[in-house]
């Protein structure tokens, strides 16, 4: 089991580079910095050559950003948002 997680800082979680994603492993952190507002995403799933999911949570939302590995590169797939506590 790994003791430390990597941290990468990005401006746009949907525009990560192949190099950035290739460095990540499950449990690593990606910090999105939007004009000084910081949001921490955790790599919740990764299978090399298949896909990766990065998940952010706060008091009102769970957001998962996914990429697929297609034709030798990581390609943004989708962002799924679930609101917490809404009927």
Alpha helix ranges (H) inside 5-69: 18-23
29-72: per-residue pLDDT in tens?
999 999 999 999 999 999 999 999 999 999 999 999 999 999 99
Work out the number of other CB atoms within 10 angstroms of the CB of residue 87. 2
pLDDT at 2 over 90: no
pLDDT at 73 over 90: yes
pLDDT at 21 over 80: yes
Q: Has this prediction a pTM greater than 0.85?
A: yes
């Amino acid at each position: 089991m790994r003791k430390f997680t990597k941290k990468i800082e990005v401006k746009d979680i949907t525009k990560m580079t192949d190099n950035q994603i290739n460095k990540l492993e499950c449990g690593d952190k990606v910090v999105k910095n939007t004009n000084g507002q910081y949001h921490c995403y955790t790599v919740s799933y990764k299978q090399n050559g298949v896909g990766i999911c990065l998940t952010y949570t706060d008091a009102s939302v769970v957001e998962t950003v996914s990429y697929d590995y297609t034709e030798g590169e990581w390609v943004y797939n989708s962002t799924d948002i679930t609101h917490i506590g809404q009927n």
